[in-house]
Amino acid sequence: MKTAIITGVTGQDGSYLSDLLIDKGYKVIGTYRRTVSDFENKCQNITHLLDDGNFILEEADVTDSSSLYRLISEYQPDEYYNLAAQSHVGTSFKTPVSTTEINMMGCLYALEAIRLQKPSCKFYQASTSEMFGDNTQCPQGLDTHFSPVSPYACAKLAAHHMVSTYRKSYGIYACSGILFNHESPRRGENFVTRKITKAAARIKLGLQDELRLGNLSAQRDWGHAADYVKGMWMMLQHEVADDYVLATGKTNSVQEFLEYVFDYAGLDIKDHVVIDPKFYRPCEVPKLWGDPSKMMKTLGWVPEYDFEELAMEMYEQDLKKQYFKLNKTIDSNV
């Protein structure tokens, strides 16, 4: 039985990756960072795993090197997936220091712990398409010039280069996956796709009337998180460590995502959507369009979901959740 550590296990990627690895016979050590937010809400994506004998939930902080040393020393993992991050671009402008500590130092501490305690452990780093920033050369691949325009992207780029340095300098099996936007029903509600699908569901049920959004012209290469975690695992099964781009190779604008969801829900955008300047970023990333050809040719990875299936699944799941909450509230008031 292989053992894998997944930092940031409570996020959408961590939960889908845990499902995948447990299905493949792994023991999964998932980490989360305790904050003032309640535990039940933080762990809603992994509730179904808490009673699984092959899943262990550990409290850890990737900015505390001692906690990572302890984990690697205790569990001697075969694979380490560094998914812990402050992953909201807008928030990174408000908290640039903590974003950098989590996104850059968390990667470095993990690499050092592996180098000193379990150098045979394979390492995956969650890099991001945001590293390409305002470089609109498309499609964007491993040879595209990086031009980050947010504290989030700058920190991720530093970590991306650190992975390459440890691979070249110490021979550690370390990969970076440059993932373009990937969504799911487990996506955080502060991200624009989930914000749209949740609002559409609530408007449909009469729970709210207005949705406030920022830049609708931004174009993104959107895939499903369940497809992308398969790619993460495939990277660590290859005989040679390398970096890859994970993307669908197609783009859609926020406007198109909004239109598809509202049309599917039978709603009129003009009646409910308001453009609010406060949701604009200080520096916008106009277009992200990935080139996944290396991933497809070398590892045989192919995404199963298309844009419409992704949007439809997210809306349907939010509709179910909001309907359940609505009926629960009605029952409690009877």
DSSP 8-state assignment for residue 35: -
CA atoms within 13 A on the CB side of 99: 20
CA-derived radius of gyration, the chain: 20
**Other CB atoms within 10 A of residue 329 CB:** 10
> One of 75, 99, 124, 130 is an active-site residue; which one?
130
Distance (Å, rounded) from C-alpha 16 to C-alpha 138?
Answer: 29
**Other CB atoms within 10 A of residue 98 CB:** 14
Based on the residue annotation, tell me whether 128 is a catalytic residue of this protein.
yes
Distance (Å, rounded) from C-alpha 225 to C-alpha 153?
Answer: 19
Based on the residue annotation, tell me whether 81 is a catalytic residue of this protein.
no
* Pairing between β-strand 122-128 and β-strand 252-253 as defined by DSSP bridges: unpaired
Dihedrals φ, ψ of 83, to 5°? -105, -10
3-state secondary structure of 119: coil
The kind and range of the H/E element at 22 are helix 12-23
> One of 3, 100, 128, 193 is an active-site residue; which one?
128
> One of 80, 81, 152, 173 is an active-site residue; which one?
152
Tell whether the torsion through CA atoms of 199, 213, 96 and 129 is positive or negative.
Answer: positive
Distance (Å, rounded) from C-alpha 60 to C-alpha 70?
Answer: 9
Distance (Å, rounded) from C-alpha 158 to C-alpha 156?
Answer: 5
Residues 89 and 150: beta-carbon distance below 8 Å: yes
Based on the residue annotation, tell me whether 152 is a catalytic residue of this protein.
yes
Which residues are known to be catalytic?
A: 128, 130, 152
